[in-house]
Amino acid sequence: MVHHSKNSRRLALNRLASRFCVGLMSAALLAGCSPSRPAPEAEDEAHLPGGDDPYREKRLAMVETQLVARGISDERVLDAMTRIPRHRFVPRSRWPVAYGDFPVPIGEGQTISQPYIVALMTEHLGLQGQERVLEIGTGSGYQAAVLSRLAKEVYTIEIIPELAERARLVLSELGYDNVSVKTGDGYAGWEEHAPFDAIIITAAPSFVPSPLTDQLVEGGRLVVPLGQKGKTQMLTLIEKKEGKLMGKALCPVRFVPMTGEVEESGQDE
């Protein structure tokens, strides 16, 4: 009976995702028509462990030309991404390209997502500041850093030990002390810290594991790229309303596949 419920839920979401096809760049606006935003009065203290930050201007340009120009309007998201030193989350050799409009390799076959996608996924969580958030797929730790400036507590799980340890170290060095990093498979979530007001999955499963939706509070939001390995996925917003999961397709994306039990379960056929 439980197995049937999982499949029904997954199939409903997959049908919804396939029904919509929203171009990734369809929300783009002419940069010259974008409203101007004042620069922050003060930098996040975590930016300046060794003095002035030479990448501040690149961050400002990233926010204006990649985020605001494409319709990202949540001021808290924009401010967080203006202040957080994205370059610190990629290998030093890639610092000069850390603010480019594309994903950047971080090792172990993984990448840090394009800034616009980070902003888009974060904005759709609708965070107000008091939430407990779960992230599946820590990667570089950058998404967790963004979440840490928008929520009260962030719990993030990374299946690759080397990435988990690196992210834990960088987040600690930069002072993001409301982020807890766990090494392990995100399929089962993090039950001891559940329930969560919001969940974000930064790798693509073909279905949403039921332990994750079970750990989402009533009225909570979950953002996930849904799709098959090697194919374009659909970024999907899922909301829990009266115990039911309501899905909305956002735009096509391409993420690395979610690995671990989600691959081995055999439920994606």
The catalytic residues are 113
Q: Residue 28: helix, strand or coil by DSSP?
A: coil
Q: Residue 11: helix, strand or coil by DSSP?
A: helix
* DSSP class per residue in 10-48: HHHHHHHHHH----TTTT---GGGSPP-PPPSS--GGG-
* DSSP class per residue in 96-129: GGTTSSS-EEEETTEEEPPHHHHHHHHHTT---S
237 contacts 223 by C-beta, under 8 angstroms: yes
